[in-house]
Structure 1
Amino acid sequence: MRIHLTLKHLLLSILLLVLLLLGLLAQEYRLFGRAWFNVQQWQHAAKWQEGSIWLSDYQVEIEAKPIAGLDDDVSALTFDPDRNSLFTVTNDKPQLIELSLEGEILRRIELKGFGDAEAVEYISPGLYVITDERRQRLIKVRVDDTTTALHADQAQQLSLSIGLNGNKGFEGLAYDSAGQRLFVAKERDPLRIYEIHGFPQRDPQQPFAVHVVDDHQRDAGLFVRDLSSLQFDERTGHLLALSDESRLVLELNVDGQPISSLSLLGGRNGLKRSVPQGEGIAMDDQGTLYLVSEPNLFYRFRKSETEAAD
């Protein structure tokens, strides 16, 4: 009888331990928050879909196309509406790379003194911002048809040094041209999206003044493990956030609330295989989504013609 009770207590203890570990694992991977979001997305689909990007309607049309001619991993992505092309950066051998909308290299620009270049964002014709992740620098650069190299020491810079944490620094950029806000994503530990006002400085005749906005409530509602890239949609005022570890793209409305998502898992949104390591996302002026992933893979997602027409 005593042996039976001891065995029963042991089995109960093991069961409780397993449940505790499963709970911790679910919390680590934000499974509770993600499940609750899926329920809300289903309940409010008709309401949230109106006036949104609605990522659920996107399907992949170019999947895991190798970017030919690169032996270094790309990071980040931005769309240049003036050139109708994309820009990305490499960080081991720092370069600014221009890509076609088909994922082919158009040109390379050497980056000198940029440290760990991790993100690039189009601001206005010929004007971009590049991040140095480890040192948390934002570097304003100008690019034209003749540019072959960029020197960080010759460019305007802003160092923030917010929560310095090695290579878990500034991973993504997005720009709101109407509001003149630069969104900066800190990868994790802690995960943050900062809004920078006053950089890059548009009018050199005006005093240089920078204001940083930190929305803890919005960031706490992001049920993803990390942030790899951002994209601001001028048409809706919504922000897209890419998470590599969660294999997910989230659409955040003007209040910072997640309202739609694009899964990067195999079998979802037309993908045959999961996106291995999403590093950059961009959207063109037609609403087409572009994504780059290590090791140098290019993706393009588009809404079906029926959905786009609606």
Structure 2
Amino acid sequence: MRRFVRPKPLILILTGIALIVLVAVGQYMRLFERAWFNVSTLWQPLSSESIGLAQYRVEVEARVIEGLDDDVSALTYDPVRKSLFTVTNKNSEMIELSLDGRIIRRIALIGFGDPEAVEFISADTYVITDESQQRLIKVHLEQDTAFLDAADAEQMTLGVHMGSNKGFEGLAYDSVGKRLFVAKERDPMLIYEVQGFPHYNPEKSYAVHVVNNPKRDAGMFVRDLSSLQYDERSGHLLALSDESRLILELDVDGRPLSTLSLSRGRQGLQKSVPQAEGIAMDDDGNLYLVSEPNLFYVFKKPPQN
């Protein structure tokens, strides 16, 4: 008859350490919250107000943007020109792209420091962020504009969390509420709402209000923020996370409603999106995404029966 052998104390200690590490990693990556959201959606019907990101499928995958030496960062849709705009942050440029990811034109950026995001505001008007100095810079772009100089532009500095090296990575604009959403990448990860910039009426006083929503920010189960998109039709905000390989839909109260995974095997992807940097949505609800090293993606909803 064999004796029952007790596990050695060392094995118990190592097992305990491994469990602690797994829990810590899961918490750091927000895996438990993400898993709970995925499970809860199994028995909850999709809200009629939701964009329904899980229904999207990739139509264009990892198309190389030809003609670029520097990596693109951010993306915005111009509903007037029916095109996309992105920026590069080394040899700084603002670049117009067609809806199939081809370069239409390039505009040199002078004095913009470290441009990380660009957002369409109104016809010929955009805001560009300078991550290093936390500046928001309003620019005006004509059809024949060859370069933009920050010294000639209206700009403001937020000056929040200046000690962090993780700055402003995304912009989104609510044209009805006149709100500019500004995403701070992480450490801490935040979304600011800026009202009063850009300034519209020179006859009125220039007052800027900056607020954030700690409850909404704490509920985002992603590790970082790379880009934002505001959907005018639903009033919902889309948050793109590179580290979590996820697009998250937030309702008007900041509650997560749906997700779109950027991992291999999900949404029809053959390979995981390597480093998602920018997201945009057109008038038909199609999603466009850029990823380093200069890869272009399009996601669309299948026709509803």
- State the Cα distance separating 1:167 from its structure 2 match: 3.8
Is 1:245 matched up with 2:243? yes
Does the 8 Å contact 2:79/2:282 carry over to 1?
Answer: yes
Which whole-Å CA distance do the structure 2 matches of 1:282 and 1:145 have between them? 21
Shift of 1:92: 0.5
Q: Secondary structure at the match of 2:269?
A: coil
Candidates 94, 99, 115, aligned match of 2:113: 115
Of 66, 69, 73 in structure 2, the residue corresponding to residue 68 of structure 1 is 66
Find the aligned partners of 2:265 and 2:45 in 1 and give their Cα distance: 22
Which aligned pairs between 1:8-23 and structure 2 lie closer than 5 A?
A: 8-23=8-23
- Give per-residue Cα distances to partners, 1:230-287, cap 9 Å, x unaligned: 0000000000000000000000001100110000001000100000000000000000
User: 3-state SS of the aligned residue for 2:27?
Assistant: helix
**Within 1, Cα distance between the matches of 2:173 and 2:32?**
31
2:27 maps to a residue whose letter is: Q
Distance 1:272 1:43 in 2: 28
Match of 1:305 in 2: 303
Taking a change above 3 Å as real, the CA distance of residues 203 and 110 of structure 1, as seen in their structure-2 partners, is same
3-state DSSP of counterpart to 2:96: strand
TM-score by length of 1: 0.95
Q: Percent identity?
A: 61
Q: Is the 8 A contact 2:194 2:209 kept in 1?
A: yes
1:29 and 2:18 are equivalent in the alignment: no
- Cα deviation for residue 24 of structure 1 reads 0.5
Question: In the alignment, which of 270, 287, 290 is matched to residue 288 of structure 2?
Answer: 290
SS in 1 for 2:8: helix
The alpha-carbon deviation at position 166 of structure 1 amounts to: 4.8
CA drift at 1:165: 4.1
Given that 1:134 and 1:166 are in contact with CA atoms closer than 8 Å, whether structure 2 keeps it comes out as no
Equivalent residue number for residue 205 of structure 1:
203
1:276 to 274, 277, 287: 274
Where does residue 225 of structure 2 map in the other structure?
A: 227
3-state SS of 1:45 partner: coil
TM-score by length of 2: 0.97
Question: What residue in structure 2 maps to residue 163 of structure 1?
Answer: 161
Q: Which amino acid aligns with 1:28?
A: Y
**Structure 1 unaligned residues grouped into runs of 5+:** none
Where does residue 43 of structure 1 map in the other structure? 43
TM superposition shift of 1:207: 0.9
Unaligned 5+ runs, structure 2: none
Q: List structure 1 runs of 4+ shifted beyond 6 angstroms.
A: none
Distance 1:41 1:123 in 2: 34
Structure with the higher helix share, 1 or 2:
1
Match of 2:176 among 178, 191, 200: 178
Amino acid at match of 2:10: L
Residues 119 and 131, structure 1, Cα contact 8 Å, conserved in 2: yes
Q: For each residue in 1:52-91, what CA deviation from the matched residue of structure 2 results, as whole angstroms up to 9, or x when unmatched?
A: 2110000000000000000000000000000000000000
1:133 correspondence with 2:123: no
State how far apart, in whole Å, the 2-side matches of 1:37 and 1:168 are: 27
AA aligned to 1:183 is F
Q: Which amino acid aligns with 1:45?
A: P
Cα deviation, residue 41, structure 1: 2.1
Secondary structure at the aligned position of 1:162 is classed as coil
8 Å CA contact retained: 2:288, 2:296:
yes
Partner of 1:100: 98
Q: Secondary structure at the match of 2:248?
A: strand
One-letter amino acid of the counterpart of residue 231, structure 2: D
Question: Do the aligned partners of 2:164 and 2:187 also contact (CA within 8 Å) in 1?
Answer: no
User: Residue 152 of structure 2 aligns to which amino acid in structure 1?
Assistant: Q
Q: Which residue of 1 aligns with 2:257?
A: 259
Quick one: distance in 2 between partners of 1:52 and 1:107?
35
Q: Is the 8 A contact 2:116 2:129 kept in 1?
A: yes
Asked whether the 8 Å contact 1:248–1:262 carries over to 2, the reply is: yes
Distance of 2:253 and 2:141 partners within structure 1: 34
RMSD (CA atoms): 1.1
